[in-house]
């Protein structure tokens, strides 16, 4: 997978009902050109609809489990208006859900955040180890002098 260049992305911060914030990073439009949306009217790939008790992290179009909220606000008591987006097929939905469904979604997002943070920690450690190795090599080679500090 190629990583898009840094330009052409923006970050949107969303405050979840639990008070936590997540940053959603939108990359350039190149991604939406690659993902070809399904024509409307195809049967749902994911079995029977679970009306009233949906898993919000699962895409209703392509069954991806990476659906995330792009906006999230309380509409009435224990009711949340949530806009969802699937990064795999660009499916979106704007609808109102009950507190229980939203709480479950929040838990799934928490698990995703935890997994990402673990990956980030491992990457940071790997990068630091590599940097230390390079520094030691440079010291050994006499390439670092007191005036470098
Ligand atoms: Zn999808």
Neighbouring residues of 65: CB distance < 8 A, sequence distance ≥ 6: 57, 58, 59
Does 13 reside within a domain?
Answer: no
Q: Is residue 20 part of a domain?
A: no
pLDDT in tens, 111-146: 999 998 999 999 999 989 999 999 999 999 998 888
Centre of ligand 1 to C-alpha 116, Å, is 20
CA–CA separation, 62 vs 45, rounded Å? 7
* pTM listed for this prediction: 0.57
CA of 130 relative to ligand 1 center, distance in Å: 37
pLDDT at 52: 56
Q: Could you tell me the distance, in angstroms and rounded to a whole number, from the CA of residue 1 to the centre of ligand 1? A: 18
Look at residue 1 and tell me if it is in a domain: no
In terms of Cα–Cα distance, which of 25, 27, 19, 26 is closest to 110?
19
From the number of C-beta atoms within 10 Å of its C-beta (0-12, 13-18, 19+), residue 47 rates as exposed
User: Is 90 a residue whose pLDDT tops 70?
Assistant: yes
**Span from the CA of 25 to the centroid of ligand 1 (angstroms):** 17
Is 63 a domain residue? Answer: yes
- Alpha carbon of 92 to ligand 1 centroid (Å): 8
Residue 109: CB atoms within 10 A of its CB come to 20
Residue 106 has pLDDT above 80, yes or no: yes
Tokens at 23, concatenated: 């940053």
Which phi and psi (to 5°) does residue 71 adopt? -155, 160
| 82 located within any domain | yes
pLDDT of residue 107: 94
pLDDT in tens, 13-54: 877 777 777 787 777 654 444 444 444 444 444 444 445 578
91 lies in some domain: yes
Q: Which residues lie across from 71 on neighbouring strands?
A: 83
How far does the centroid of ligand 1 lie from the alpha carbon of residue 79, in Å?
Answer: 24
Can you give the residue range of the structural domain that contains 105?
53-142
Per-residue model confidence (pLDDT) at position 6:
55
Residue in 104, 12, 11, 94 with CA at minimum distance from that of residue 54? 104
Domain annotation covers residue 81: yes
State residue 54's pLDDT score. Answer: 86
Between the CA of 95 and the centroid of ligand 1 the distance, in Å, is 16
Does residue 62 carry a pLDDT above 90? yes
Domain count of the fold of the chain: 1
Residue 3, in any domain of the structure: no
């Amino acid at each position: 997978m190629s990583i898009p260049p840094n330009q052409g992305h923006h970050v949107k911060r969303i405050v979840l009902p639990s008070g936590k914030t997540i940053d959603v990073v939108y990359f350039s439009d190149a991604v939406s050109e690659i993902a070809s949306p399904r024509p409307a009217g195809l049967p749902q790939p994911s079995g029977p609809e679970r009306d009233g008790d949906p898993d919000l992290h699962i895409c209703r179009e392509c069954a991806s489990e990476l659906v995330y909220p792009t906006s999230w606000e309380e509409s009435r008591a224990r009711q949340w208006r949530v806009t969802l987006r699937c990064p795999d097929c660009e499916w979106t939905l704007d609808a109102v859900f009950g507190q229980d469904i939203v709480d479950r979604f929040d838990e799934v997002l928490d698990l995703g955040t935890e997994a990402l943070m673990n990956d980030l920690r491992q990457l940071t450690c790997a990068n630091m180890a590599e940097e230390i190795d390079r520094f030691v090599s440079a010291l050994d080679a006499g390439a670092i002098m007191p005036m470098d500090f």
